[in-house]
Amino acid sequence: MTETTLEPPADPIVRPRVNAIAPCLLAWLVPGLGHAWLGRRGRAVAFFLVVLATFVLGIASGGASPVISGQRPLTYLAVVDNLAMGPFDFIARRMTIGELVYRLPDSESDPRRLEIMSRVRDRVRIPTYEYGSTFLLTAGLMNILLILDAFDIASGRKD
């Protein structure tokens, strides 16, 4: 009869914790940069390309960055979502609205409000506007997930 010996389980790999703020900030600045900083270069490139492609498709399809309107409460969420793209949001606003505007002026007769609404209406008339705007929102949501993923890796909760 052979004797079986049980070996003690190997010690789990202990990864040093790093400051989770830095990769999150880097991931906000450029999608994938937080993962690159954490040494996940392949993931970083893939994530950057996916968010960039979604962003470019959104702009090319005639999408527009949302602006906050007091009469439409969900616009707050859409603006926060687009802000998650970091500097890409600034680029999108310049390309789709023509300036960095996040909120419509409250007064209906304000000439600035009328000018912004005119630019947004021009975008809405593009047949693929809804698709483009959805792509822009999706790029923001994906980057939120990437920021959270970088946080989990940096804090040691995920490999």
Predicted TM-score of the model (pTM):
0.81
Residue 8 has pLDDT above 80, yes or no: no
pLDDT band, residue 11 (cuts 50/70/90):
low
What's the pLDDT at 34? Answer: 95
Domain boundaries, the chain: 21-154
Rounded to an integer, the average pLDDT of 83-97 is: 93
What is the token pair recorded at 133? 């705007």
Q: List pLDDT tens digits, range 95-139.
A: 988 888 888 888 888 888 889 888 888 888 999 999 999 999 999
Give pLDDT, residue 107: 82
| Contact criterion met (CB below 8 Å) for 149 and 28 | no
Taking only the tens place, the pLDDT of each residue in 12-66 is: 555 555 688 999 999 999 999 999 999 999 999 999 999 999 999 999 999 999 9
Question: Helical H runs in the chain?
Answer: 21-29, 33-37, 41-60, 74-83, 87-96, 111-124, 129-154
